[in-house]
Amino acid sequence: MKKLFLLISVLSLGLMVLAQPKHEIRAVWLTTNSGLDWPKGEYDVTTQKENLCKILDKLADANINTIIFQAQVKGDVLWESTMQPAMRSVTGNGANSMSYDVSRFVIDECHKRNMECHAWIVPYRIGTSSDANKYKNNKIKHPYTSNPELCIEYNSSNYLDPGLPATREYLLDVYRELISNYDYDGVNFDYTRYPGSDFDDSESYSKYNPEGLPKDDWRRQNINTFIAEFYEMAKSINPNIKVGAAPIGTYKNVSGYGNMTAYGSVYQDACQWMQSGNHDLLIPQMYWNENYGFTPNMSTWITNCAGRQLVIGLAPYKMVDGSNDWELSVITDQIEKTRAKKGTSGVCFFRTDHVIDVTQSKIKDLYDELQNNYFKYPAHIVPMDYNGVTQPNAPLNVTQEYINGEYHITWDTPNLDTEDTPIKYYSVYLSDGNTVDVNNLQHVAAHIVKGTEFTYSSNDANLRFAVTTFDKNYYESAPTISNVSGVENIEINNTNFNYSNGSINITSAKEIELVEIYSLTGYKLINAVNLGKSTTISCEHLPNGVYIVLAQYRGGEKSVNKFLR
């Protein structure tokens, strides 16, 4: 049985299934800037909520497990803030407050679908003066209005000056409010850089450069300092929050390519954030094909990320933007190349519409490929082993019962590990009764179960199951293989018992304290107590089959009988 079970599994697996990781981050950026992905000009609250749920359902159907939700655009936000106004692309008018707590809603809806939800935040870029003016009647002032001394105009748009200590203090206050009041699984920094080399920050450079650094190094240090202070603040409030960023796709140029770089062009030393321990993951916007060095640039990120999580940002929008006209194979090849590289943890797509808008033929083809091939099986989030490896205990007392084409699998919660690491969920696997291959994705009967029971429908009455525990860090326990019966080893003995006309009858010289009726696989169907010295129990509602009757008498004596209905 065991060898046949494993042989069938191996023969039925295709090459792509074999390549699909059990742990993988599969993310999308969900854009609210100008309502691009959501809410698309819809301002009715019910419609907004319904449409957001439809988006999340569509993503969940393709086994996307991480949503990076744009909670800040240009000095406007989608959380209950006292420091920046509510985003007008959602409220419909810059003077309005939110009619509901958007961040709370999206977090809850993501968690219902077993997705992580990260807040996408944009610290320095705050838009044009015209953008700010649209919030002039809001009780919460736009930062260009409330803190003009922190702003510098560049190419008709305004930016908070990263060189001012007051800018860091202001931003830390803004984000302290966010992290204190919401259970986002992570934050994802965007545009955390200088807008260009000719940014006019000469005044802050002369005033706040005590070490006399060259301007390029000073600019990088300003952002590094902010990131370090943010990380310390965020972890002090929520030690479990993941701090990440989406830097420009090329860190430092490799030979033969001339891309704009994060480090040199915009003073964004994102790998220093990782190397200093002030970041948990990076999602570089690697919107290149191989003509611009996709693979060598990915290798550069891997080399410089200090073993921390690296998720590769992909650009399906370039299939439909009218200027690049990429083929689907560019994106699918990049998924394969990412998986083939040791040191990567998954992929992230910009943006959501370019994954789920199946009215566009190329996007439909991508969605179908994800759903039916590359992401055919759900994946667990990748653990962050550099934060410490935990080991949850295996579930206890796993039992299974088969009734009317359904397996009822139950288990008991194990004790927590020595660090009291909370349990997040369980997984259920098919087993041969002796072993289970938890790395074979075709053996997964239930990817995530939040409680301690699961029902599995099958016409095969000979299946066996195993259950594992996952803790909050996404580490998995050893499996516990189910017992098929809670009474199978009890010796059958004779007693004053009979079954007739749909009822069982028991008589005894002692008081009958308890009668339980089980299926052959141990599923308890009837429980009756304090029955006297004689009892009749109707079994007419039970389907035809063989059943076990356990009777317990005063003094502790037990008897067990079988009957055929």
Contact by Cβ (8 Å): 348, 310:
no
Beta bridge partner(s), residue 503: 500, 538
Tell me, what's the pLDDT at 3? 35
**Cα first-last separation, the chain:** 30
CA distance 164 to 159: 12
Q: List the domain boundaries for the chain.
A: 24-382, 387-481, 497-564
Peptide bond before residue 210 is cis, with ω within 30 degrees of 0: no
Residue (of 40, 44, 184) closest to 105 by Cα position: 184
CA distance 401 to 483: 9
**What is the 3-state secondary structure of 366-426?**
HHHHHHHHHCCCCCECCCCHHHCCCCCCCCEEEEEEEECCEEEEEEECCCCCCCCCCEEEE
Averaged pLDDT of the chain: 92
Tell me, what's the pLDDT at 180? 98
Edge-first strand listing for the sheet containing 464-471:
444-449, 423-431, 464-471, 480-481
Sequence-separated (6 or more) residues with CB below 8 Å from residue 551: 495, 497, 506, 508, 512, 514, 515, 558, 559, 560, 561
- Segment 155-203, tens digit of pLDDT: 999 999 999 999 999 999 999 999 999 999 999 999 999 999 999 999 9
Model confidence at 488, in pLDDT bands (50, 70, 90)? very low
Tell me, what's the pLDDT at 343? 97
CA distance 474 to 96: 40
**Residue listed under structure tokens 């961040």:** 103
CA distance 340 to 461: 40
CA distance 48 to 31: 14
Tell me, what's the pLDDT at 389? 95
User: Which long-range CB contacts under 8 A does 299-305 form with residues at least 24 apart?
Assistant: 299/254, 299/341, 300/250, 300/251, 300/252, 300/254, 301/251, 301/271, 302/341, 302/342, 302/343, 302/344, 304/251, 304/271, 304/274, 304/275, 305/271, 305/274, 305/275, 305/343
CA distance 68 to 184: 10
pLDDT at 18 exceeding the cut of 50? no
pLDDT at 351 exceeding the cut of 60? yes
Edge-first strand listing for the sheet containing 406-412:
396-403, 406-412, 453-457
Contact by Cβ (8 Å): 285, 294:
no
Q: Which CATH number fits domain 387-481: 3.30.365.10, 2.60.120.200, 2.40.50.40, 2.60.40.10?
A: 2.60.40.10
Sequence-separated (6 or more) residues with CB below 8 Å from residue 465: 398, 400, 407, 409, 428, 429, 430, 431, 445, 456, 481, 482
Listed range (41-45, 320-324, 437-441, 494-498) with the worst mean pLDDT:
494-498
CA distance 94 to 85: 8
Listed range (339-348, 381-390, 484-493, 544-553) with the worst mean pLDDT:
484-493
Question: What is the reported pTM?
Answer: 0.85
Biggest CA pair distance of the chain: 100
What phi, psi does 216 have (nearest 5°)?
-60, -50
SS3 347: strand
**328 burial level (CB within 10 Å; 0-12, 13-18, 19+):** middle
Token pair listed for 234: 């965020």
pLDDT at 552 exceeding the cut of 70? yes
Peptide bond before residue 104 is cis, with ω within 30 degrees of 0: no
Contact by Cβ (8 Å): 383, 23:
yes
CA distance 434 to 221: 57
Q: What mean pLDDT do residues 416-430 have?
A: 97
Q: Which CATH architecture has domain 24-382?
A: Alpha-Beta Barrel (3.20)
Beta bridge partner(s), residue 405: none
Q: What is the DSSP code (8-state) at residue 313?
A: E
More confident residue, 69 or 387: 69
Residue (of 197, 196, 282, 187) closest to 243 by Cα position: 187
Q: Which CATH number fits domain 497-564: 3.40.30.10, 1.20.1110.10, 2.60.40.1930, 2.60.40.3080?
A: 2.60.40.1930
Q: Where are the alpha helices (DSSP H) in 62-199?
A: 88-91, 102-112, 129-133, 143-146, 165-181
% of the chain residues with pLDDT over 90:
79
pLDDT at 224 exceeding the cut of 60? yes
CA 17 and chain centroid, separation: 21
Model confidence at 551, in pLDDT bands (50, 70, 90)? confident
Tell me, what's the pLDDT at 491? 44
Please count the helices (runs of H) and the strands (runs of E) in the chain: 16, 23
- Segment 250-268, tens digit of pLDDT: 999 888 999 999 999 999 9
- Segment 356-376, tens digit of pLDDT: 999 999 999 999 999 999 999
- Segment 504-550, tens digit of pLDDT: 888 888 888 888 888 765 667 888 888 888 889 998 888 776 778 88
**500 burial level (CB within 10 Å; 0-12, 13-18, 19+):** exposed
pLDDT at 7 exceeding the cut of 60? no
Token pair listed for 95: 């003077």
H/E segment holding residue 346: strand 346-349
HSE-CB at 418 with a 13 A cutoff on CA atoms is 3
Tell me the torsion sign for CA atoms 26, 54, 244, 215: positive
Edge-first strand listing for the sheet containing 157-160:
125-127, 157-160, 151-154
% of the chain residues with pLDDT over 70:
94
User: Which long-range CB contacts under 8 A does 419-425 form with residues at least 24 apart?
Assistant: 419/390, 421/390, 421/392, 421/471, 421/472, 421/473, 422/471, 422/472, 423/392, 423/469, 423/470, 423/471, 423/472, 424/470, 424/471, 424/472, 424/474, 425/114, 425/449, 425/450, 425/470
Tell me, what's the pLDDT at 6? 38
- Segment 433-483, tens digit of pLDDT: 889 999 999 999 999 999 999 999 999 988 999 999 999 999 999 999 998
- One fold for both 387-481 and 497-564? yes
Q: What is the DSSP code (8-state) at residue 34?
A: G
CA distance 100 to 531: 56
More confident residue, 7 or 561: 561
Q: What mean pLDDT do residues 39-57 have?
A: 98
